[in-house]
Amino acid sequence: MKKAVIFLFGLFFLVIVYSSCGSRESGQLTGVQDRPKWRGINPYGMVYIPSGFMQMGQDDDDMFRTYIKRQKAVSINGFYMDDTEITNNEYRQFVNYVRDSIAHTILGNVFENDGGSEVIDWEQEIDWADEGLDEMYYQGDMVMDGKREMDTRKLVYQWQWVDWPKAAHDKEISRSALINKEKVNVYPDTLVWIRDFAYSYNEPFTRNYFWHPAYDDYPVVGVNWNMSNAFNYWRTKYWNSYSGNAVNTEQFRLPTEAEWEWAARGGHERTSYPWGSYYVRNAKGCPLANFKPGRGNYGEDGGMITVKADAYFPNDYGLFNMAGNVSEWTESAYIPYGYQIEHDLNPNITYNATSDDPLAMKRKVVRGGSWKDVYYYLQNGSRDYEFQDTTKSYIGFRSTLTFLGRSISDFN
């Protein structure tokens, strides 16, 4: 009996081995075999925002500005979104990457990979006292008190983007004409704390807000629209470098204006604020967000300026500070009558303005209101804009990532 079992087991094994050898073609339409398996992703620090339908735009209390916020029924694909604004410490990871890349290049810490191109040897430690790195520091009469301080003007990063609309409307265009490369200084503009407020003593924030550990978990500010895009480009490359064989073809990016509003509403319909209410205070009279209460009692809500990125209660999607704290960049170009011309499926108007374009073409939608805004700008449907090449002490951002695939339950 035992020999019979062994014989049958061996026969079964031989059948399996034989069936796995040779061609698998059968003359039947079975699709391409051996495709990579896709089990989805779960990005750290992000929450899933399901697909859905909403009435986009201001509710019933904006009679005199309805022409720029006219309601529109739209459908939005599901996506992931950071549960908080990008913090100083998270953005510092990007800044340090750029700093280290420049240092490795100067010191010659590169090697030839299998493809024949030079890549950085990240295992090579950097000796920051090396005189070869002097060019990265302030020199001569720019040195203060003998300190060896990094010249932040040197922290330049090149990012790329593809002009998909141009590709769709010009079939004869070359691929190289669609690839745009831009260089941007990635260090936050810390002088916004002085520039944004005339006759005001905010120099301590200029010296400390981005650098000091006390502000690590506060939202990064002083970053313009281009710097936000450069960060997302780097974040995508950083993700892919550690994802192994995972098939992730999507990129981290800024949310569209419609995506941002859909996420802010938290699944609620016709409510004014992310917490699903029509008021900015709870039953005890306490502010529900970080904004400018009354006539300017900044500290009444618990923060004189920004607060930690996960302060206050999240909305029903698990997103913190979708109202107040800092306004947030979106992907969308600002056009007053934009809702009238946008499609009702994933609406968005995008335009990457050049430095020579008129100012009106550099306007980008910002959403959510900030610590220095009155409560009107905290409403889900309120629109505002800023120029893409400007930096402010009250504007930050958070990233999104398109969800690939869809299930029936996504719509229930």
Indicate the burial class of 216 (C-beta count within 10 angstroms; 0-12, 13-18, 19 or more): middle
pLDDT at 208: 97
Backbone phi and psi for residue 178, each to the nearest 5 degrees, phi listed first: -95, -15
Angle between helices 225-242 and 88-107 (to 10 degrees): 70
- pLDDT tens digits, residue range 99-156? 999 999 999 998 877 666 788 998 899 999 999 999 999 999 999 998 999 999 999 9
Please give the mean pLDDT across all residues of the chain.
Answer: 88
CB atoms < 10 A from the CB of 215, how many?
Answer: 19
Close Cβ partners of 319 (under 8 Å, ≥ 6 residues apart): 47, 81, 83, 84, 263, 264, 266, 274
- pLDDT tens digits, residue range 286-341? 999 999 998 889 999 989 999 999 999 999 999 999 999 999 999 999 998 888 88
pLDDT at 170: 87
pLDDT at 67: 57
Which CA distances in Å does 131 have to 108, 126, 150, 240, 247? 14, 12, 13, 34, 43
CATH number, domain at 376? 3.90.1580.10
Q: Is residue 268 part of a domain?
A: yes
Q: Is residue 235 part of a domain?
A: yes
Token duo for residue 288: 């529900």
Mean pLDDT over 218-242 rounds to 95
pLDDT at 40: 73
Among residues 303, 314, 241, the alpha carbon closest in space to that of 273 is found at: 314
Q: Is residue 388 part of a domain?
A: yes
Cα 271 to chain center, whole Å? Answer: 25
pLDDT band at 15 (very low <50, low <70, confident <90, very high): very low
Task: Report the distance separating Cα 255 and Cα 252, nearest Å.
Answer: 9
Q: Is residue 176 part of a domain?
A: no
Residues of the chain with pLDDT > 90: what percent? Answer: 63
Beta bridge partners of 364: 333, 386
Mean pLDDT over 364-373 rounds to 96
Does residue 11 come out as left (phi exceeding 0), alpha (psi in the -120 to 50 range) or beta? alpha
pLDDT at 24: 64
Domain coverage including residue 82: 46-86+221-411
User: Minimum mean pLDDT among 13-22, 175-184, 255-264: which range?
Assistant: 13-22
Q: Which helix or strand (DSSP H or E) is residue 227 part of?
A: helix 225-242
Q: Is residue 103 part of a domain?
A: no
Q: Is residue 156 part of a domain?
A: no
Residues of the chain with pLDDT > 70: what percent? Answer: 88
Residues in the chain, how many? 412
pLDDT at 406: 60
- pLDDT tens digits, residue range 166-197? 889 888 899 999 999 999 999 999 999 999 99
DSSP-derived secondary structure for 10-67: HHHHHHHHHHTSS----SS----SSPPP------TTEEEE--EEEEES--SS-GGGGG
Token duo for residue 177: 């004409």
Q: Is residue 149 part of a domain?
A: no
Q: Is residue 276 part of a domain?
A: yes
Q: In the chain, how many domains are there?
A: 1
* pLDDT above 90: residue 92: yes
* pLDDT above 70: residue 63: no
* pLDDT above 70: residue 69: no
pLDDT band at 82 (very low <50, low <70, confident <90, very high): very high
